[in-house]
Structure 1
Amino acid sequence: MKDVADLASVGTITVSRVLRTPEKVSEAKRNRVQKAIEQLGYVPDNTAGALSSNKSRVFGAIVSTVNDSVFAQTLDGLSSTLRAAGYELLLTSTNYDPALEEDALRALLARRPDGIVLTSTSHSSGVKNLLKSVNIPVVEIWQLPSQPLDIAVGFSNFQAGYDMARHLIGKGKKNIAFIGGNERGNDRGRRRRDGYIAALADAKLPPIIWPSEEQGSPSGIELGAAVFEGCLKVNPAINALMCVSDQVAVGVICEAKRRGVEVPGGLSVSGFGGFELAMSSGFDLTTIEIPGREIGVASAKALLNPEAARAKKVIDVGYTLVERGTT
């Protein structure tokens, strides 16, 4: 550190501040120190700093999957905002397996993070007990639980599912199926399904859920062919498919094109998420667009200033129903 201080013509205390609390150092000095660090290839010992300050300057995130473009937007907003404040982000995924969340949390807590982000809101008693044992902020994202563990940043998946179902009903559709894919560990998908069921009940229409939890199924784009071989073969009167995600909807549309089924003429299809490919002219998908990056930025701000976030408890970023060419 002394070599960096000498090259930047500052004291070692200033170098330490640039590394730990850059916002407390003038821009001119901060730039000189950063330039010296780059020239010397200096790598700070964060472990020593963490022991002396009782802060690791690391946050952890446990996500359901990294194979999702909208989650990617959230992680980009989260990591870039934390990085700008001088923090790092440790990331792990459960692949929608609730049993892995506790193991993932134990691994992250061993690194003494300054806070945790969770994309699930359904937790085992083991996870809840672990989080109670540590005095750090916890932010649950992509959902608005009725009783957050600490802070929640997201939107109502139930209301979004309800609104999309009402949109399809408003288009004159009477036989609407909810295509859920594998919902094991996906509490957000279940809430969208519940919103769909409520909307159909209000319209006095029977719900069609496919596949059932007992059946199981592939997920994502691969579900397209299975929908035609399963759901539509058993229920040929179906004239609209409300898909749990844009990926599932894209798979359905691809299979519909292969089979010569017109969308939306023969079959209306909707998605969920705002998946980049689904917005292209080749699919032109009606969907619920989620401000994924905004969720990440708001989550980072909640971690950095938890007391302000706790005053709100729940931060609702909303969503937008975007009608395009598939309904």
Structure 2
Amino acid sequence: MRARSRKGAPGIIEVAKRSGVSPATVSRFFNEPEIVKGKTRKLIEQAAKDLGYYKARMEGGVHHGFSGTIGLIVPTIDNAIFAELIQAFSSRLLTHDRTMLIAAHGYNPSLEVGIVKSLLDRRIDGVALIGVEHEKAPLEMLAARGVPVLAAWNYRKNSSIPCVGADNFEVGYRAAKHLTKMGHHDIALVFPPTKANDRAEDRLNGVMSALGISPDELAHHRFIQTRYDIGEAKRAIMEILMKERPSAIICGNDVIAQGAVYACQSINIAIPDDISIIGIGDFRGSSHMEPSLTTVRMPAQRIAETAADLLCGGLSVTSKSGITRIKIESELMVRESVRDISMNY
């Protein structure tokens, strides 16, 4: 019998020494806890907890192949987009005595197959993905192994997999409607590419619906696509500003909005006196920008905590009534970067 379950981690022998019972009794408890007497069970449970021996093992994890680890696959960890979600997801898992393995595919969903395979090799207990649209292969791999999976960040009422998130169509609609309420009609749209990004696609569709723009008309509208990169967004928005300037810009998220603010500052265009800017996300720091950024808040913490609770709640994200789909409400954060010009009309 090994002294440790893996390098550097406490194993059965450490638990046995601390609880004052034999390694055989500890092993018996992990595999068939019902045959171990109550007093001895409590001693082993406390020793395992003190040593950090995974709770999943005490619940039959070794016998059933559970690892006590949940996977989170995100498009990027290169900027603030998912930072709050990642932190909240990890913290919530700890309250369930579980840990997180994180991977990023760089907005290339085809890489999810390899990532999922790697997670399955580590006997992952569940997986959270970002967005509701994914290739069939990784989902089929998870289903074949009986590993629960859910989509975080985006909510669709017809999602084919369990989902927890905001309705991104409503998010985009809300941002656009706020600008029109403030009297803005000459509005430029700056969004990331929507291919393989159902969150951006839904937001853009919401904006178009609110502004009455059809898909055919979008090509003739002031519409620019740019990656989630401050520098690239700044350069793209400079092209808009150097031509006939709109009264407002809707940005696909706060990273792009930050690029818009820098672009305006670089050529002395005042926000909001000369132009209004609205973002989506409400990332940490958006309220401290100068001027503070009007944006639609994505409830990242609530989404992450709900996702973690579902994946750890008996490791099931489905119910008798079918697929679990939970909508978390977004919130319009009205700040200084949008000017009310409605009285001018």
**TM norm structure 2:** 0.78
Give the corresponding residue for 1:244. 252
Give the corresponding residue for 1:274. 282
SS at match of 1:293: helix
Give the corresponding residue for 1:112. 123
Give the corresponding residue for 1:58. 69
CA offsets per residue over residues 86-106 of structure 1, 9 Å max, x none? 222211101111221222222
Note the 1:158-237 alignment, pairs <5 A. 158-201=169-212, 208=221, 210-212=223-225, 217-234=226-243, 236-237=244-245
Give the corresponding residue for 1:289. 297
Q: Which has the larger radius of gyration?
A: 2
Asked if structure 1 preserves the Cα contact closer than 8 Å seen for 2:75 and 2:130, the reply is: yes
Give the corresponding residue for 2:141. 130
Distance in 1 (alpha carbons) for counterparts of 2:282 and 2:317:
30
Note the 1:10-89 alignment, pairs <5 A. 33-35=48-50, 37=51, 50-89=61-100
Distance in 2 (alpha carbons) for counterparts of 1:120 and 1:209:
27
Give the corresponding residue for 2:6. none
Asked if structure 1 preserves the Cα contact closer than 8 Å seen for 2:188 and 2:222, the reply is: yes
CA offsets per residue over residues 257-295 of structure 1, 9 Å max, x none? 121101111110011111112110524000011221111
SS at match of 1:140: strand
**Which one of the candidate residues 241, 257, 274 is aligned to 2:265?**
257
Note the 1:136-155 alignment, pairs <5 A. 136-155=147-166
The alpha-carbon deviation at position 10 of structure 1 amounts to 6.1
Amino acid at match of 2:257: A
The alpha-carbon deviation at position 109 of structure 1 amounts to 2.0
Asked if structure 1 preserves the Cα contact closer than 8 Å seen for 2:234 and 2:263, the reply is: yes
The alpha-carbon deviation at position 6 of structure 1 amounts to 3.0
Distance in 1 (alpha carbons) for counterparts of 2:239 and 2:309:
45
Distance in 1 (alpha carbons) for counterparts of 2:213 and 2:107:
31
Give aligned pairs, total.
Answer: 310
CA 1:11–1:178 in structure 2 vs 1: closer, same or farther (change >3 Å)?
A: farther
Distance in 1 (alpha carbons) for counterparts of 2:137 and 2:189:
32
Residues 272-281 or 70-79, more deviating: 70-79
The alpha-carbon deviation at position 225 of structure 1 amounts to 2.8
Distance in 2 (alpha carbons) for counterparts of 1:17 and 1:220:
53
Residues 170-179 or 307-316, more deviating: 307-316
**TM norm structure 1:** 0.82
The alpha-carbon deviation at position 30 of structure 1 amounts to 5.8
The alpha-carbon deviation at position 176 of structure 1 amounts to 0.8
CA 1:231–1:313 in structure 2 vs 1: closer, same or farther (change >3 Å)?
A: same
The alpha-carbon deviation at position 130 of structure 1 amounts to 2.4
Q: CA RMSD in A?
A: 3.3
CA 1:259–1:112 in structure 2 vs 1: closer, same or farther (change >3 Å)?
A: same
Amino acid at match of 1:219: Y
The alpha-carbon deviation at position 169 of structure 1 amounts to 0.6
Distance in 1 (alpha carbons) for counterparts of 2:281 and 2:154:
13
Determine what percentage of the aligned residue pairs are the same residue.
Answer: 24
**Which one of the candidate residues 326, 329, 332 is aligned to 1:321?**
332
**Which one of the candidate residues 102, 119, 130 is aligned to 2:113?**
102
CA 1:2–1:274 in structure 2 vs 1: closer, same or farther (change >3 Å)?
A: same
Amino acid at match of 1:210: F
Give the corresponding residue for 2:308. 300
Distance in 2 (alpha carbons) for counterparts of 1:293 and 1:113:
23
Unpaired runs of 5+ residues, structure 2, are: 1-11, 339-345
The alpha-carbon deviation at position 202 of structure 1 amounts to 7.8
